[in-house]
Amino acid sequence: MSEQNYDVVIVGAGVSGALIAKQLGQAGKKVLILEAGRDGQGSYEDYLERFYMAQAKVPESPYTPPIVDADRDGFQSPSNPSNQAAGRPSTLTLSQQTWQDRNRSYLDQQGPLAFASTYERVGGGTMRHWLGTSLRFVPNDFRLKSEYGVAEDWPIDYNDLEPWYGKAEAAIGIAADVADQDYLGITFPDDYQYPMPAIPSSLVDQTVSAGVEKMPPVDGVQLTVTNTPAGRNSIPYQNRRVCAGNTNCIPICPIQAKYDPTVTLYEALQYPTVSIMYQTVASEVVVDANGQVSAIKYLQYDDPNGGVTGSGSVSATRYVLAAHAIETPRLLLMSTNGGRTPKGVANSSGQVGEHLMDHPIYLSWALAPTQLFGYRGPLSTAGIEDLRDGSFRSERAAFRIEIGNEGWNFPIGDPATTTLDYIVGANVSQTNAGSGSFFGDSLTSRLNFVLTRQFRLGFLVEQTPDDDCRVTLSPEWKDSLGLPRPRIEYNFSDYTKLGFVAAKQTATAIYNAMGAKEYTRQPTAADVGSDPTVFAITVDADGNPVPDGQAPPAGSTTDYFRFYGAGHTVGTYRMGTSPADSVVNPEQRSWDHPNLFLVGSGVFPTVATGNPTLTLAALALWAAETILRDLG
């Protein structure tokens, strides 16, 4: 495409980019979206088939480019991201052998811990492997520094965002009840109702609820089970089907009852002034002598495993980067403008790429004393939200607790693992203590006894915005377009690690109250250093962390934890009140370039305690209004 002029050019067709495009299209603005991936809507059946046939049903398995290659001996191994035009990370590359292998890992991981979350670069499918959880942040999430002396405050508060939460809930289509969500200071306008009634609670939810009601308070709080707001249909909405209770919401809803960005994207494309270029990777943000963004350069490809087949640039009055909290800083840092912006675009503060965060997950699992009959309903329909805030946040990280409906599928790959145990006489699941082999009625009886009582808890732990967590450019690793791949440095603070200690204690207390038998496997000292998703923390007799390298005093204890990525990549171009220490202002406008907006979860100053999608959607709608005001 030759250079053209638009009102707005948007890079990325995920949640933020699609929502902004729709708002601008409604107002008659001329909009072009540059999308690195292919057209996701036309490929949905292909995605389903790829998921059904995949040996490893990980979150990335349905989508392009393929995460595995078939070797000549018939086995599959991770695909080589050096040969991919729009590569992305995969959970299959988080082993000691692959996490730092340039021919297996898309991310140039420098450690000391692995960044364990993944993301997609599929046209409008960036969030297709999200669960649908759509929580509002609690008010104190926006004022962590002023309330608890930790990290920093946001330049906006809950009241600023509250009207936009309502708009985002309507745009996505959220199923929930206001009465369930009135906790920890969350407020709603009088007579507010969610677009749809809540998804019904599962038997797993009801059983956990009955157990926690018997517990004494934790950190002074009486725990309760709360229905989880979900971007999933409980009644017909937006021409989507009603949820049929499939348990593979991650990575793909087979009937498209769950919201994904294609819903909004294809609504946006119905407006004649909105267009999109697929398989088009933004390669540089061009800045003129006056500090205004003047163009976006791009590269195009035909084959996902091929090289450049075209290039060009596009110009607009306003520009929006909505390409994910890793890909957006990557683009900004690549944009050196022939040396005129040596630190990259929008980076006078030096904060682009800094303070990478996630909600690292502490995963725990148990057998209930009664049958729960999991695998019925979405992956999660309820959680425990009471520990998302409290005075304890001055000392350790908060967390929310997600109740899983999928048995031990997440922890150990069940039902396959336990079934194989009882067939071949193994005990990988730890439930076949005698390692006996069974068949016929005996096998069926034992599997029914175990599989119907399985459940798990996932603790999504708050991570602090630390100076040793960042995204930069790999000096050597490139993709098939010749662009540098992201380099990642990642670690946890003691504050975050203490959240894991509290999570472990809370999980055990819940199981004890339920009369459930815990089967959680804890790593050992031997796993530290050999497994990039394992860390240790030592606390003294008073529960205070002992610094690394310091001899533990008498009475100290050491815990070892394995963490998982939640897919909640935030930070890296945060909003603030000063151009000296932030990248965008509260409007999500670049401090350096007034016609450039950076949206998505990368603007979050802290990770907060709720899943990020609803908040980034609310912020995107707010940004769209600001852009329309700019354009008149």
Which secondary structure element, helix H or strand E, spans residue 157, and what is its range? none
Note whether 539 and 545 are within 8 A (CB): yes
114 or 41, greater pLDDT: 114
Residue 487 has pLDDT above 50, yes or no: yes
Given this model, what pLDDT does residue 68 score? 85
Q: How far apart are CA 17 and CA 176, in angstroms?
A: 25
Q: Is the confidence at residue 484, as pLDDT, over 90? A: yes
Domain count, the chain: 1
Q: How far apart are CA 303 and CA 513, in angstroms?
A: 55
pLDDT value at residue 41: 67
Structure-token pair, residue 426: 């193994």
- Asked if pLDDT for residue 284 goes beyond 70, the answer is yes
In a domain, 240, yes or no: no
> CB of 304 within 8 A of CB of 123?
no
State yes or no: pLDDT of 374 exceeds 60.
Answer: yes
User: Can you tell me the distance from the alpha carbon of 194 to that of 470, in angstroms, rounded to the nearest whole number?
Assistant: 37
- Whether 385 shows a pLDDT value over 60: the answer reads yes
How confident is the model at residue 42, as a pLDDT? Answer: 67
Residue 625 near residue 318, CB atoms below 8 Å: no
Per the structure, the complete domain to which residue 154 belongs is given by: 1-54+98-176+252-356+572-632
Query: Which stretches of 465-579 are assigned E, i.e. beta strand?
Result: 470-478, 484-490, 517-518, 534-539, 557-562
- Residue 454 within any structural domain of the chain: no
Q: Does 259 fall in a domain?
A: yes
The answer to whether the beta carbons of residues 34 and 27 sit under 8 Å apart is no
Strand partners, 76: 70
Q: What is the DSSP code (8-state) at residue 534?
A: E
* Per-position DSSP letters for 273-323, written without gaps between them: TEEEESSEEEEEEEE-TTS-EEEEEEEE-SSTTS---EEEEEEEEEEEE-S
pLDDT-derived band at 31 (thresholds 50, 70, 90) equals very high
Strands (E), 126-268: 226-227
CA distance 232 to 260: 9
Tell me the percentage of the chain whose pLDDT exceeds 90: 86
Q: What whole-number distance in Å separates Cα of residue 114 and Cα of residue 183? A: 34
Six token digits for residue 547: 């610094």
Cβ contact 585:599 at 8 Å = no
Do 88 and 60 meet the contact criterion of CB atoms below 8 Å apart? yes
Residue 263 pLDDT greater than 60, yes or no? yes
Any domain includes 607? yes
The answer to the question of residue 586 being in a domain is yes
Task: Please check whether residue 23 lies inside any domain of the structure.
Answer: yes
Instruction: State how far the Cα of 255 lies from the Cα of 301, in Å rounded to an integer.
Output: 30
CATH number at residue 614: 3.50.50.60
pLDDT at residue 179 tops 60:
yes
Q: What is the mean pLDDT of residues 328-350?
A: 97
Alpha-carbon distances of 95 from 92, 113, 413, rounded to whole Å? 7, 12, 16
Residue 33 belongs to some domain of the structure:
yes
Reading the block at residue 137, the tokens are 């942040």
Residue 81 lies in a domain: no
What distances in angstroms separate CA 143 from CA 68, 261, 493, 609, 616, one per listed residue?
A: 43, 30, 19, 12, 17
pTM: 0.96
Average pLDDT over residues 268-282: 97
The per-residue pLDDT for 2 is: 44
Q: Over the stretch 401-440, which tens digit does the pLDDT of each residue have? A: 999 999 999 999 999 999 999 999 999 999 999 999 999 9
First-residue to last-residue Cα distance in the chain: 27
Residues 70-125 have pLDDT tens digits of 665 555 678 899 999 999 999 999 999 999 999 999 999 999 999 999 999 886 65
